[in-house]
Amino acid sequence: MPITGINHINIEVTAEQLPKVKAFYEDVMGLKPGFRAKSKRDGAWLYAQDQPVIHLSVTEDLMNEADKIHFNHVAFACNGLAQFKRDLDIQQIQYTLEQRSLADREMTQIFFYDPVGIKIELNFAGETLP
């Protein structure tokens, strides 16, 4: 499975934090707001040129103040869906697979966790399984 690059990182914030965090990435990092796929949660996608590199997601499920963890997951742009799924099965890695349309494009996403609990999202644009 060739990884072709990091697709995006996801940062969870409260509704109150969203404007401040969004402004930080726009003003300090020079990212620009842009199209965001429909979601159950509020948030924003921030772009570097034409790539949405940071997804801000609103959640009220953050831990107590001392233990807040805002980094939710890292997503990779990939190709070779069928082979990668076979490799995960052989290695007995538990995962979830979702096939969906995002921005009028068919996509398959695989979600799993690394050994220390970091969520990994693999995006296979234009690839689906029968």
Instruction: Report DSSP state, residue 117.
Output: S
Beta-strand relationship, 71-78 and 51-58: unpaired
- What is the rounded average pLDDT of the residues 10-34? 87
Least confident of 37-51, 86-100, 104-118: 104-118
* Residue 2 phi, psi dihedral angles, 5° rounding: -75, 125
CB atoms under 10 Å from CB of 34, counted, come to 12
Domains of the chain, each with CATH number or no CATH: 3-125 (3.10.180.10)
pLDDT band for 84, please (50, 70, 90 cuts). Answer: confident
